[in-house]
Amino acid sequence: MSTFFTGYEVSRRALGPEGLGIPNAMTSFLAGGIAGTIFWTIAFPIEAVKNRLMTQPLDEVRYSGFMHCLKDTVRRQGVSGLYSGFSPAMLRTFPASGATFLAYELVSRALKTLL
């Protein structure tokens, strides 16, 4: 998760007033989308292995653990096997992460004015 928030802060600063000068709401949305994309690019192979382990039939266990599943997937399908389904996830993650960070910034600003 630290990759998610670090990606957001770095992107926000690069896009913000000292960077490209994009308005605050747009900056938050774009930086959130970039952060989500960075995060899922790194985390997707881990999730892919986890999902393969979780969905293997109990009566026909194929993998003995995480590393066995990782090595077997790469051996059989190459590294691209770890990114199966990546494109639809990216189509979802940019707007979802952008909206999440935009909402966070708006709520944070609203709370600061109330307190």
Rounded average pLDDT over 85-99? 95
Which of 11, 1, 20 lies closest to 98, judged by CA?
11
- Contact predicate 65/28, CB 8 Å: no
Which among 97, 81, 84 has a CA at the least distance from the CA of 38? 97
Contact 22, 16 (CB under 8 A): yes
Burial of 7: CB neighbours in 10 Å, binned 0-12, 13-18, 19+: buried
Cβ-proximal residues to 84 (8 Å cutoff; 6+ apart), any chain: 48, 77
Its pTM surpasses 0.75: yes
Q: If you average pLDDT over every residue of the chain, what do you get?
A: 90
What token pair was written down for 50?
């986890």
Q: What confidence tens digit (pLDDT) does each residue in 62-89 have?
A: 999 999 999 999 999 999 999 999 999 9
Q: What are the pLDDT digits (tens) for 11-50?
A: 988 887 655 555 688 899 999 999 999 999 999 999 999 9
| Rounded average pLDDT over 84-105 | 94
